[in-house]
Chains A and B, each alone.
Chain A
């Protein structure tokens, strides 16, 4: 569903990604782990169009999308829940969710009715968001904002969803809740690429995983294989 081939991207003169290759099959959950600064966020941004790759290919559902505007790639079925959540602070929780489905909804009237089924689904997944649907998103707690960021991405009914460090800065109980949510998304058959600091938990939920070091994939394999790899154990699972 998503293939990244020999991708190069960076900021100004400094190249961060130097030939990243990975792929995510339909209906699977793929984890991308690696040390701070390895280039995981950069990979996600180069996939979703926030950064223009200088070389390489990004193929989404059979269509090459590298170099397109982020908004265009989103309309083609990629939902990216970015590092730091990036909810629209001044807007209400419900408005944030509605905007998640922006590309599928009428621009002026009737958008709410058309999105109702998706709203109900997200509210069912995150009852807290329903309780607070009128509240400004910026006033939610960190955990609630993360739920909102995931819910917003779900609203798009994406072909592929990118989740960048959903557990960042959250208390341990909330992190567990985040992982429960990720498991549920997986059970619903959503195709997911997940970046996580908590390598162990990520490997527990993933079907396949990549380990990134200095802008390249250093090791890849099933979680079982990686859990036996001594280098991976020493660096990320110790």
Chain B
């Protein structure tokens, strides 16, 4: 084995893993405020990528396409919340699980009807030429993934800690009823979390598309791994999803290199099974401590 190849594989895998981390982070956002997640998030990633591709094809420059794509993702997140989650939560039912899956299927067939079934390249001004850092080659595209993922997560964390609206978001996550007594609308806060989650998913699509191409099924494998990362890291640790995402990405890149690409999905599944067996609250999840 050549150590520099191992390093190379691990680094580019880890950078891809940040995409899983970002989608998993989106799950955490909505889970925090409403104890619900969008099971059709993969389709949201995909449809936002298609929309962004269309913006690009219409001649929008990259810097204008990205906010457009994020806005689209946010709006789709709000659609999911309104159509699939709110009523179910108001009735204290688990209906949101099925409803979000169905909305995902609806996004899927909409995308097929509008854009067709073929995978398409996603043009980007960021070059795929490798640059040499610390003994490994990384492409600017891969670096853009890292910058984009860590950048938006950092911004959202800053928002939660530094603004009053962000603190209200945390308050609803901690105790919804008590937050309402402060004049904070829990419904609006849940909407906010779905909007952010949608924007984050759209960014994941925009960042990963130049590497994977855009197609109706582009996110089906990615989303499974994002679920694994969310479950393994726990649904409350943003730091945890980054670490686990990078770890899983590196692991699958190495195993597909050494064992063959058919084994690519294996590490994620094994990790998921182990995590569920050993620590159902996640490696970084806190057990909830309540003082009575």
B181 near A138: Cβ-Cβ < 8 Å: no
Collect the chain B residues with CB atoms within 8 Å of residue A145's CB: 291
Expressed in whole angstroms, the Cα–Cα distance for A142 and B292 within the complex equals 9
- In the bound complex, CA of A98 to CA of B163 (Å): 11
A156 to B184 alpha-carbon distance, docked (Å)? 12
Residue of B nearest to A112 (CB): B164
* CA A75 to CA B213, docked complex, whole Å: 49
* Alpha-carbon distance A142/B171, docked complex (angstroms): 19
Residue contact A156 to B165, C-beta cutoff 8 Å: no
- B-side interface mostly: helix
Answer whether residue A39 sits at the interface, using C-beta atoms and an 8 A cutoff.
no
With both chains docked as a complex, state the minimum distance between the C-beta of A222 and any C-beta of chain B, in angstroms. Answer: 30
B180 near A74 (CB under 8 angstroms)?
yes
* B window 159-176: CB within 8 A of A: 163-165, 167-168, 170-171, 174-175
In the complex with contacts A71-B180, A71-B185, A74-B181, A88-B171 CB distance below 8 A: yes
* Chain B: number of interface residues, binned into ranges: 20 to 34
Is there an interface contact between B181 and A48, defined as CB atoms closer than 8 Å?
Answer: yes
Q: Does A178 contact B (CB under 8 A)?
A: no
- Nearest A residue to B187 via CB reads A69
Is B157 an interface residue, CB under 8 A from the partner? no
User: Considering the chains assembled together, what is the distance between the CA atoms of A93 and B179 in angstroms?
Assistant: 15
Q: Determine whether the beta carbon of A88 is less than 8 Å from that of B174.
A: yes
Looking at the complex, which one of B167, B183, B185, B187 makes contact with A91 (CB distance below 8 Å)?
A: B167
B180's contact among A70, A90, A106, A109, by CB below 8 Å, is which? Answer: A70
Among candidates B175, B180, B183, B187, residue contacting A156 with C-beta atoms closer than 8 Å:
B183
Question: Which residues on the B side are within 8 Å of A109 (C-beta)?
Answer: 163
Most buried by A among B163, B167, B177, B179: B167
Our pick among B170, B177, B183 for the contact of A50 (Cβ within 8 Å) is B177
- CB contacts (< 8 Å) of B165 on chain A: these are 107-108
Asked if A100 is an interface residue, CB under 8 A from chain B, the answer is yes
Judging by beta carbons under 8 Å apart, are B164 and A100 in contact? Answer: no
Q: Which of A79-87, A184-192, A194-202 lies on the face that meets chain B?
A: A79-87
Which of B178, B187, B289 is within 8 Å of A88, CB to CB? B178
Q: Of A82, A84, A95, which one neighbours B181 at CB under 8 angstroms?
A: A82
Cβ 8 A contact of A102, one of B164, B174, B290: B164
A50-B180 contact given A91-B171, A138-B289, CB 8 Å threshold: yes
A100 to B175, Cβ gap below 8 A?
no
Q: Does A127 reach chain B (CB closer than 8 Å)?
A: no
How far is B182's CA from A82's CA once the two chains are assembled, in angstroms? 11
- Which residue of A69, A90, A100, A107 contacts B182 across the interface (Cβ within 8 Å)? A100
Cβ of A91 and Cβ of B291 under 8 Å apart? Answer: no
A98-B167, A145-B291 known; A71-B177 Cβ under 8 A: no
- B168 A70 Cβ-Cβ under 8 A: no
- In the complex, which of the residues A88, A98, A100, A169 has the most CB atoms of chain B within 10 Å of its own CB atom? A88
Candidates B178, B184, B290, B292; contact of A82 at CB < 8 Å:
B178
Q: Which of B263-292 contact A (CB under 8 A)?
A: 289-292
The chain A residue sitting closest to B165, CB to CB, is A107
Residues of chain A within 8 A of B244, CB atoms compared = none
Q: Is the CB of A88 within 8 A of B175?
A: yes
Residues of the B chain whose Cβ atoms lie less than 8 Å from the Cβ of A89: 174-175, 289-291
Q: Are B175 and A99 in contact (CB under 8 A)?
A: no
Interface residues of A in 94-148 (CB under 8 A from B): 95, 98-100, 102-103, 105-109, 111, 138, 142, 145
A91 touching B170 by the CB < 8 A rule? yes
* B179 CB, nearest partner CB in chain A, Å: 8
- How close is A145's CB to chain B, nearest CB, in angstroms? 7
CA distance A72 to B289 in the complex (A): 30
Q: Which residues of A contact B187 (CB under 8 A)?
A: 69
- List residues of B (86-145) whose CB comes within 8 Å of A's CBs: none
> Is B186 an interface residue, CB under 8 A from the partner?
yes
Question: Are B164 and A71 in contact, with the CB atoms below 8 A?
Answer: no
Q: Chain A residues near B179: list those with CB within 8 A.
A: 71, 88, 99
Residue among B163, B175, B177, B180 having the largest count of chain A Cβ atoms under 10 Å: B180
Interface CB pairs A-B, < 8 A, 19: A48-B181, A50-B177, A69-B180, A71-B180, A71-B181, A71-B184, A72-B183, A72-B185, A74-B183, A82-B177, A86-B181, A87-B178, A88-B174, A89-B289, A91-B174, A95-B167, A99-B171, A102-B184, A103-B182
Which residues does A use to contact B, with CB under 8 Å? 48-50, 69-72, 74-75, 79-80, 82, 84, 86-91, 95, 98-100, 102-103, 105-109, 111, 138, 142, 145, 152, 156, 169
Chain B residues with a Cβ under 8 A of chain A: 163-165, 167-168, 170-171, 174-175, 177-187, 289-292
Q: What 12 new A-B contacts, CB under 8 Å, besides A87-B178, A106-B164? A: A71-B183, A74-B182, A86-B181, A88-B174, A88-B178, A89-B174, A89-B291, A90-B170, A99-B168, A99-B182, A138-B291, A142-B291
